[in-house]
Structure 1
């Protein structure tokens, strides 16, 4: 029998109040998403996020494109790349997507996923519809890339509104786009990324409210700025279909410290996580010198 905790009762009451305030927003179902069942020993594959090279891929005069990024990954003998949506042209064509998929494949690379910067907490209206349209567009593009998942956000509470309303909007947003994701065979993987996903409790509120075979978690190891970030990561890890590893953490939002990479990899092994570990490099050192060193270390730990 499932136990009913004080937190779940309070959460249900909060969601009911939010749904009432929103009128058309449906209440989440009572059935919660189960942890992903894995029986084989943990099998980890190493990928890298294009965001790691953001200073070269963006700006008025970028010095690198996504094809160059794939070449760098191949030179480091990685298993895959994660081409972040930010670094594609706004009018990216199907031909360009197919060419990038071909380019990566010929270099022995999978495309482990892509990533968008959506916000499902915005109020009903044109801006919200634009966020939903953005997500559907990138579901289509991920399918062309043969990317199995998209890293997505929930969003942040708009000024002057309650978190309960923001959470209800986010849940409804996911419920609107997940059937389309399922049609295309693309996971939507929710990242712990501040806002209404800043803590493991907040993440669990969403995980418990969204039950869909194509919904899961993108575990970002640097984004719990809590008292016990490793404990919070371990709590969420059973729901992950993708992991983005950062080389730093920040306890209680204080100064960054070097991440305990062996501990992070062990957290994944403990839950038998099998899938991509995506290096998302954000530290101050030049990525051209730092990334190969971190790749070497992660490869040793994942062997």
Structure 2
């Protein structure tokens, strides 16, 4: 059904009247050169409370934060779903504010490392609609969760199979499928951060075995649970298509309390990484808006891709 809707939208042209959307010279320079994106989860409180709408995300990223690339979160779409008309509105908003859609972070669509074959296949199929949405929006990738329940060997084997299948589908659409070290929903409904994918050794081994050109990693600074985060980033950097620069709290100097940004960016700077780094504030103590600005400032301070003022 999604394919027929997308076909319909490709036939029916929608005229967008661009009013007052001319880029300033500084914006023209920043947009293509600076690969900083904004993870929508940074604003999940505002969206879930109704203070902000998913469709307004591109405008907020550009006008309030000077960020011209966005990472959507599937669960922040209305009812965790969409139709072609909704996607067109989102695409129009991006075009109006000169924002690049880079990724959809997909949650609650089943465990790709499920050791029950039927459940694993259902999880793979559940992700297809988000690949189609990402293709329509002009994204570069979808982010998936690489978890399951069972022995490491069994979960790993199931996850490798799922990633190869999704990688084949993504290749047809010119997309990447990237795994984030992430928590998992337990059978009782609770959330457990200490999941299969939160271990850098396990996840990097899966990626090495999958060995698919359209499959990669999205290391998140804050989601390694009991595994050393610096080792985890080091494990995943060779496979990284993107990075989530997670923050929770800041000290009086504006540095992240939980993560040594200089230490972690020394590794990023020494690697061959050339993707987007996403601003993802998930803490408290400051507002979402202030947390986003402070996280962006840390990326600009330590990432050598960003030109520094003389």
Shorter chain as denominator, the TM-score bin is: 0.7 to 0.9
Instruction: Figure out how many residues of one structure are paired with residues of the other and give that number.
Output: 250
Aligned to 1:129: 121
Contact 1:218–1:243 (CA under 8 A) maintained in structure 2 = yes
Contact 2:112–2:162 (CA under 8 A) maintained in structure 1 = yes
RMSD: 2.2
Contact 2:37–2:279 (CA under 8 A) maintained in structure 1 = yes
Q: 1:72 aligns with which of 60, 75, 79?
A: 60
The equivalences for 1:1-303 within 5 A come to 45-58=35-48, 62-75=50-63, 76-89=65-78, 90-117=80-107, 118=109, 119-124=111-116, 127-157=119-149, 161-193=150-182, 194-226=194-226, 228-248=228-248, 257-285=257-285, 286-302=287-303, 303=306
Query: Which range moves more in the overlay, 71-80 or 87-96?
Result: 87-96
TM-score (norm 2): 0.74
Contact 1:219–1:243 (CA under 8 A) maintained in structure 2 = yes
Query: 5+ residue gaps in structure 2?
Result: 1-32, 183-193, 250-255
How far residue 225 of structure 1 moved from its aligned partner, in angstroms, is 3.0
Distance in 2 separating the partners of 1:199 and 1:182: 27
Contact 1:248–1:259 (CA under 8 A) maintained in structure 2 = no
Contact 1:83–1:114 (CA under 8 A) maintained in structure 2 = yes
How far residue 126 of structure 1 moved from its aligned partner, in angstroms, is 5.3
Contact 2:201–2:235 (CA under 8 A) maintained in structure 1 = no
Distance in 2 separating the partners of 1:222 and 1:91: 27
How far residue 272 of structure 1 moved from its aligned partner, in angstroms, is 2.7
Query: 5+ residue gaps in structure 1?
Result: 1-42, 250-255
